[in-house]
Copies of this chain bind each other. A is one copy, B any other.
């Protein structure tokens, strides 16, 4: 039996994926700005250990048993409260579905809506994991450029006019992955008006919204939505622990039953033990206090990295100015290839890892950008790593003069 019997969605198996980047990043010789890692220091390890203990003691053996696919109601109630606090609207716990990280929520949405060749719109660039998930359903991607205040609305409407059958727009409106860009209020309103006009859903993927370092929060798309067109995805991965693999969907009420059917087919149900441990943790600790601590840590690193980029990068290289989140997006001159640079001097000489732009565009064609993460590294690594990158890029830019 040969590889030709695989499904058509897997005809290409040689693409870079997140796990491979992660493998490079996990090599301790390198300074990794690659993966979107939280700082180990932010994990409330002792409190989580205690929460696991308490949950097991107090719930008894039944905590190790099968439970409902949607996740425990008590946790969904706490997530509704957290959503009210950070997203300006309070969903019913009945419409919250626990998922295996935000990634599974994205996959569930893809599975619910997409037949082969269906039309969807994604930001250019966008979260590479979302592309991996959607790729499974072999959609027709339309990319809309991201500006410093979010999607290019002229291009978006032109795309919708040409492809009115578009099923959804997938967007990360706050501190976007990979660019760090935040969508303006005006564009949020325009996007929702277009959703109504052209009859599509908006997938609001928002794991970073809790982490604002400057500026004023804007209303979430879900809060502005008055027609049930927004499906919100969020997660504890960036604010509590990625290893707990706990994300959620806030579903349109009509879609809840379908999403649960899909979740059940994917992996039956979430880990009740992990969810109950988080539930116990949230009963005893104010999430807002914990988030405030994280923000202090990450704000310093964000501003330091912006400062060092300004100091060390050649004039031809530009970068975004995020007000929160995990990432800064760096743009090289058009003719430069960030993938080739990574495989060349950046890794071998600089021992620095970033995520090249190629894997962050649906087209897989745009090569002259890369994503830097600042949360998973020390301030010393930011100093050293940006200096090494700066030196290499100074040399590369000088060579193309």
Contact = CB atoms under 8 A, between A and B. Distances in A.
Interface in A240-266: 241-245, 254, 257-258, 260-262, 264-266
| Interface residue tally on A, bucketed by range | 35 or more
A13 B261 contact: yes
Nearest to A132: B265
A339 to B, nearest CB: 18
Contacts of A257: 13
Contacts of A201: 1
A43 B65 contact: yes
Contact of A17 (B65, B132, B264): B264
Given A17-B261, A258-B13, A56 B52 contact: yes
A53 to B, nearest CB: 6
Interface string A82-103: 0000000000000000011101
A65 B273 contact: no
B1 A64 contact: no
24 contacts: A5-B113, A5-B167, A6-B113, A6-B258, A7-B114, A7-B118, A9-B111, A10-B262, A13-B258, A18-B69, A19-B260, A19-B269, A23-B68, A35-B66, A40-B61, A40-B65, A45-B61, A45-B64, A66-B242, A99-B267, A107-B267, A132-B264, A133-B266, A245-B269
